[in-house]
């Protein structure tokens, strides 16, 4: 009895130690991976652009979002959360960020994609700042590992400009 309990305990300790070592190694080896990603975002159309009665601007865009994020995936990657945001400057705020689209990439096979879509979330500015506004379309990603720390990065596509007039 005694010796069985002792051996089971020793085995458990050994298993826990191995597991802890694997977790440390997993997060260490993960950090050696330098991702080589490709992102392209095009505005295919400005569907409409208007000022609401409350003076907030709203614009509807059709986007072509394409990305190859396969290099973010290692054997330690659980999933990757991505979102595309419009980022622009106003007199009040140096950075306004409006999320336009998001998605969860469950596996490496799904990490190379392109999607032709209108903005999934409303692009509303709290004010009427969008006419002729220069903006960046930025893809942000959060890599969720099986063990270890989450990390985030982004790719900025700059040089977009909204129309001067509502339509």
Cα(167)–Cα(97) distance, integer angstroms: 23
Which residue's CB is nearer to ligand NAG, number 13 or number 153?
A: 153
- DSSP-assigned letter for residue 108: G
One residue of 40, 76, 99, 118 binding ligand NAG per CB under 6 A:
40
According to the binding rule CB under 6 A, does residue 68 interact with ligand NAG? no
Q: Which residue, 119 or 136, is less far from ligand NAG as judged by CB?
A: 136
**Residue pointed to by tokens 């950075």:** 95
Distance CA 66, CA 51 (A): 30
43 by Cβ neighbours in 10 Å (0-12 / 13-18 / 19+) ranks as middle
3-state secondary structure 15-71: HHHHHHHHHHHHHHHHHCCCCCCEEEEEEEEEEEEEECCCCCEEEEEEEEEEEECHH
> Which range touches ligand NAG (CB under 6 A), out of 27-35, 51-59, 88-96, 120-128?
88-96
Task: Answer yes or no whether residue 89 interacts with ligand NAG by CB under 6 A.
Answer: yes
* C-beta closer to ligand NAG: residue 77 or 98: 98
41 or 77: CB nearest ligand NAG:
41
55 binds ligand NAG (CB under 6 A): no
Residues in the chain: 167
How many residues make contact with ligand NAG (CB under 6 A)?
13
Q: Is 101 in the site for ligand NAG (CB under 6 A)?
A: no
Q: Beta partners for 142?
A: 81, 152
Instruction: Examine residue 88 and tell whether it contacts ligand NAG (CB under 6 A).
Output: yes
Q: Which residues bind ligand NAG (CB under 6 A)?
A: 40, 44, 64, 66, 87-89, 95, 114, 116, 136, 156, 158
């Amino acid at each position: 009895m005694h010796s069985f309990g002792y051996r089971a305990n020793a085995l458990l300790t050994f298993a826990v130690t191995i597991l802890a070592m694997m977790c440390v190694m997993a997060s260490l080896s993960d950090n050696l991976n330098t991702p080589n990603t490709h992102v392209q975002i095009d505005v295919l159309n400005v569907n409409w652009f208007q000022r609401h009665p409350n003076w907030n601007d709203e614009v509807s865009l059709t986007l072509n979002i394409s990305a190859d994020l396969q290099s973010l995936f290692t054997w330690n990657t659980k999933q990757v959360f991505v979102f595309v945001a419009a980022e622009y400057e106003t007199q009040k705020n140096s950075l306004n960020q409006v999320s336009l689209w998001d998605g969860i990439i469950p596996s490496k096979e799904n990490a190379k994609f392109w999607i032709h879509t209108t903005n999934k979330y409303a692009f509303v500015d709290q004010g009427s700042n969008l006419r002729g506004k220069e903006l960046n379309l930025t893809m942000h990603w959060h890599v969720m590992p099986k063990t270890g720390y989450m990390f985030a990065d982004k790719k900025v596509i700059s040089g977009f400009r909204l129309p001067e007039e509502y339509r």
